[in-house]
Amino acid sequence: MKSILDTSSSRNVENARQLRCGRHLLDLSFPRVMGILNVTPDSFSDGGQHVALDDALRHAERMLAEGAAMIDVGGESTRPGATPVSPQEELDRVAPVVEVLVRELDALVSVDTSCPTVIREASELGAGMINDVRALEREGALLAAVGSGLPVCLMHRQGEPQDMQQSPTYQRPIEEEVADYLARRIAECEAAGLRRNRLLVDPGFGFGKTVEHNLRLLKYMESLQSLELPLLVGMSRKSMIGKVLGRPVEERLSGGLALAAMAVERGANILRVHDVAATVDAVNMAWAVLQEGCEPPLNKEFDA
């Protein structure tokens, strides 16, 4: 494998692209930050904090001002052990938030969902991206995604939230398992009519993986560039930080910033995070080193 610095210039050329997200264009020629907005009572880090519509709006507004290129709205917790919610309950949580973020902030909104009903309704309300931890495997989700016309992020996981952290095991190195799974899902999506230029991939840190799996996956994450698709990464405040550093959720920022910088170095195009302002600085600093310069564009700008 070539070193990271050997491939940075070619990676910059390969990833210089505009991703059509509804009526927005997202510039992925440099790494972007995605702000997390959970409108759930039980998410592992911020459950219940943004359930009220006005609270959600203000938090999204704050993250955009801090440099987030998009807001990822989720109405179903997928933390380990989480209880599933009905499609109607998820829709009731998500739809008003998507609508107000689009109307009031003209935000590029990603919707974190596996539910066909939510995919369809969110696209009608002006969402610009679908972010699915189940990689469109739920019945009807792939058809709904094709019909939405939106880009979709396919994530690797092993198992479901209820059982995914019960002794996850793999027969081969984790990065190979992840790459093969995502390649299969990409092929199935293309066969169903979801064009490749509408796809992104996420290695799924923390979804059916031990701490050792997560650490190795990040170490060798550059190998996922063989899929030739934009790479979205979410490690913010996750238990891998807590277990390595012995830190509770509210004290994991420093560890998360280290992981974000390493992810940028290994080819991440989008960083999904809770702490936007600090991560924007970390991402921009890592990118400046890789580019040997500090000229814009950087994450302080939003491409409408």
Collapsing DSSP states into helix, strand and coil, what is residue 225? helix
272 has catalytic annotation: yes
Output 158-164 pairs: Cβ under 8 A, ≥24 positions apart.
Answer: 158/207, 158/208, 158/209, 159/208, 161/77, 161/78, 161/79, 161/80, 161/81, 161/82, 161/84, 162/81, 162/82, 162/83, 162/84, 164/80, 164/207, 164/208
Residue 65 CB coordination number (10 Å):
12
Instruction: Give the whole-angstrom CA distance, residue 88 versus residue 94.
Output: 10
Of 79, 237, 238, 266, which residue is the catalytic one? 238
Instruction: Give the whole-angstrom CA distance, residue 267 versus residue 179.
Output: 14
What is each CA distance from 119 to 7, 94, 131, 147, 235, in whole angstroms?
A: 36, 10, 10, 9, 24
Collapsing DSSP states into helix, strand and coil, what is residue 113? coil
2 has catalytic annotation: no
Q: Which two tokens mark 145?
A: 């995604």
Chain-centre distance for alpha carbon 293? 27
Residues with a known catalytic role:
238, 272
